[in-house]
Structure 1
Amino acid sequence: MAAALTLLLIGSLLQGAQSKRFKAFVPQTIEVLRGSCVTIPCSFEIEDQYESNLDDTCRAQWFNDDTLVFDSKYPQTRLNNGELTGDLTKKTCTTTLNNIQPAGSNSYFFRLECDNKLKYSFKQTITISVTDVPPRPTLTPSALKVEEGASVSLRCSAPAPCLSHPPTVTWTKGLGDIVETLQENEDRTKVLTSVVTFTASHKHHGETISCEASYHKQDGSAESAATLTADVSYAAQILPSSDCITAGDQLNCSCWTLGNPPPTVRWYLNGSPVNHSEELSVSSERLNDTTTRSIITVNRQQEAGLSSLLCRSVNSRGSATQRFCVGSSEPQTTAGSPGRFTLTFIVTVVALTAALMCALLFAIGAHRTRGLNSGESQHTGDTSSAVASQGLAGEKLIELSVTAEEAIYANTNLTPISQILV
């Protein structure tokens, strides 16, 4: 008896499990920008006895409360501004509705109507929340704290309520490589995910990184953004702008440093740490959370005894050192008159050049005189071709000599070297 009851109960359960009931599967709620479109993911089940009635004559209808807002039999009309993207014969009723109005929350339900006895309004409803502000994307992680050189991946997720017009995601310009995918949530709504990958640099520190989602509307577009990418730690650096200048009887050296965490600056004279004194003074100024300017002032008398001056910048990520030329070291190049050594060098070059020119002209003149004397003693009265040849050579030599003599006279207007030395 007990066994018979058990079999009867199992049979009843199996029969109930095999029989289907009318049921629609839709998300509970979707947030939509007013004037844009919305895609409603939809599928359904019907009782087994109506399976044969599910044919090409069936159409999908959507009602807002009791008002018909879409009928797939009359798509793309002024009343039915939408499109059935599902296949009713396969029990999918996904539908896109365009130009959603007005703002507020409205409840929608799906009705299946065929040209036969299969006609049913499903009880499951979806709430479409219409807003004037586009949904804000989600940026992951919400804060970025990394070390320089690390590989960083940021994810921006923007709801995609309308499959025909998904949002456009834009990152901070020139950030890195971008990959986009369209993903499905558990309730079958869609989300556009954009991932940017880059290598963290000290240039990213303090930068506001944003991803912006732009949504299409009937009358234009609307944007929303999410921001955070960036606390980047990096080793201490000394900037090229660090230098030394002379002001009166003092030498001022500036050491510009950069780093995160903010670096500590120390000065070293002749290998020893600098202590503040009457001859030496050190001051530091924090310009922002990463940049520091340190200045050391050295009297000229103290400078004469210096062989080296170092600036050292240190933080937990690393250090940097800058050497400055002071004291007995090679002097700094400054704008103004040339030094004594430079002037002496210039005068020496000018004098040697003038002496070389005079010696060359003297040699040319002597050669011309010998040539003329030789021609007169050997070819007087001779009209042969050899005499003519010697005559032509003599004319060229005379012409060269005259040119050289003109150069000598022309140089008489040059400023005397004695005046240059003065």
Structure 2
Amino acid sequence: MPKTIEVLKGSCVTIPCSFDVDDQYNGPVVFDSSNPQHKQKGQLIGDLTKKDCTTTLNDMQPQNNKVHNFRLECDNNLKYYFNGVKISVKDDPPRPTLTPPTLKVKEGTSVSLNCSAPAPCLSLPPNLTWSPGLGEGQETLQENQDKTKVKISVLNFKASHLHHRQEISCTAVYRKQDGSTEFTQRTTVSVSPSGPVQEDTNVTLTCSANANPAVKNYTWYRADGGQETFMGTGRVLNIKASRERGPFFCKAENELGSIHGASTIIPYCPLYVSVILPVFIATIVVFLVLVCALLFVIR
């Protein structure tokens, strides 16, 4: 059984599980296969008669970031539990692994590239695509040692001079249970001007996404506690620096899906900072005048 499983927010997670009779365990119930009214929706897909307690939990959200324990209860006093699995819910899908990362071959040589991506939700495994299109990848769903699944695509082609220094990429597209998709690409946010800025100064945020196909829409948000406040659309966002300095992040979207960019916080200096020095100097001047006046009176 895995110790940790990462899952995309809004998707499901299939937790591999097997058991033997063991000690009792009492704790808060997250999912009960015999109670359809339970808050956490899921499905026991394993065969308990074969000691298979594999379970799928649906619509994973940030509040599901916790350790989940399984417990088996029978009509008699028999109960069983085992070490829990940590569910880690992510806003962005995991990046696929491409092997080998670099390759030196001769023209006419057969080339084989492997792209793999975790498949935490068995009913919604990722779709793997190759760019540029050098042929159809052969896809399989394989099992890791900890019983979790991984989607693998193998691309085979013959090397030619046209492939010299060519970059080949693999993209994993994950579907959510509401029908939307998320794809794995690199997205960054830059701030201009850089460094601390004075309050009420104009600030430009720029979103960059390394996406293929190209990005069609950019959307900006500000994180406000557990909420996302809409700020605007477009690759560039112009705002004024204020105490509400973020974090800000962008969402890049193309025909395959969308991804959230890294968040950024705008460092700023409040307006009153600029008047501290003049006030301090004025105080010193007044103090010196009073001292001189006092000395004059004493004489």
Please state which band the TM-score falls in when normalised by the shorter chain: 0.5 to 0.7
75, 97, 106: which is aligned to 1:115? Answer: 75
Aligned residue in 2 for 1:214:
173
Q: CA separation in 1, counterparts of 2:39 and 2:110?
A: 52
Residues 187 and 108 (structure 1), Cα distance of their counterparts in 2 relative to 1, 3 Å cut: same
Aligned residue in 2 for 1:30:
5
Return the letter of the residue paired with 1:99.
D
Identity across matched positions, percent? 60
Return the letter of the residue paired with 2:182.
A
Return the letter of the residue paired with 1:223.
F
1:243-298 Cα distance to aligned partner (Å, 9 max, x none): xxxxxxxxxxxxxxxxxxxxxxxxxxxxxxxxxxxxxxxxxxxxxxxxxxxxxxxx
Maintained 8 Å contact 1:137/1:225? no
Aligned residue in 2 for 1:188:
147
Aligned residue in 2 for 1:99:
59
Secondary structure of the 2:10 match is coil
Return the letter of the residue paired with 1:147.
K
Report deviation, 1:68: 2.5
1:144-166 Cα distance to aligned partner (Å, 9 max, x none): 22222111000001101111111
Maintained 8 Å contact 1:210/1:225? no
Pairing 1:46–2:21 present: yes
Return the letter of the residue paired with 2:115.
C
Residues 117 and 104 (structure 1), Cα distance of their counterparts in 2 relative to 1, 3 Å cut: closer
Residues 31 and 47 (structure 1), Cα distance of their counterparts in 2 relative to 1, 3 Å cut: closer
Q: CA separation in 2, counterparts of 1:204 and 1:46?
A: 57
Return the letter of the residue paired with 1:44.
F
Return the letter of the residue paired with 2:103.
L
Maintained 8 Å contact 1:34/1:132? yes
Aligned residue in 2 for 1:86:
46
Report deviation, 1:105: 3.7
1:197-222 Cα distance to aligned partner (Å, 9 max, x none): 00112222232211111111134110
Q: CA separation in 2, counterparts of 1:67 and 1:168?
A: 36
- Counterpart mapping for 1:326-341 below 5 A: none
Report deviation, 1:119: 2.6
- Counterpart mapping for 1:19-418 below 5 A: 26-46=1-21, 66-75=27-36, 79-102=39-62, 105-120=65-80, 122-219=81-178, 220-225=180-185
Secondary structure of the 1:44 match is coil
The number of equivalent residue pairs is: 185
Residues 110 and 175 (structure 1), Cα distance of their counterparts in 2 relative to 1, 3 Å cut: same
1:84-115 Cα distance to aligned partner (Å, 9 max, x none): 11011221100001111116741110111122
Residues 98 and 47 (structure 1), Cα distance of their counterparts in 2 relative to 1, 3 Å cut: closer
Maintained 8 Å contact 2:138/2:154? yes
Q: Which has the higher helix share?
A: 1
Maintained 8 Å contact 2:131/2:168? yes
Residues 47 and 134 (structure 1), Cα distance of their counterparts in 2 relative to 1, 3 Å cut: closer
Report deviation, 1:225: 5.0
Maintained 8 Å contact 1:104/1:131? no
1:122-165 Cα distance to aligned partner (Å, 9 max, x none): 14111111111101110000112222211100000110111111
- Higher relative contact order, structure no. (Cα contacts within 8 Å, ≥ 6 residues apart): 2
Return the letter of the residue paired with 1:224.
T
Aligned residue in 2 for 1:254:
none
Q: Unaligned regions of 5+ residues in structure 2, if any? A: 187-299
Residues 84 and 169 (structure 1), Cα distance of their counterparts in 2 relative to 1, 3 Å cut: same
CA RMSD of aligned residues (A): 2.5
Maintained 8 Å contact 1:177/1:198? no
Maintained 8 Å contact 2:135/2:155? yes
Aligned residue in 2 for 1:393:
none
| TM-score, normalised via structure 2 length | 0.57
Maintained 8 Å contact 2:98/2:115? yes
Return the letter of the residue paired with 1:109.
N
Q: CA separation in 2, counterparts of 1:218 and 1:78?
A: 19
Report deviation, 1:173: 4.3
Residues 40 and 211 (structure 1), Cα distance of their counterparts in 2 relative to 1, 3 Å cut: same
Secondary structure of the 1:193 match is strand
Report deviation, 1:34: 1.1
Return the letter of the residue paired with 2:73.
E
Residues 192 and 80 (structure 1), Cα distance of their counterparts in 2 relative to 1, 3 Å cut: same
Q: Unaligned regions of 5+ residues in structure 1, if any? A: 1-25, 51-60, 227-422
Maintained 8 Å contact 1:103/1:132? no
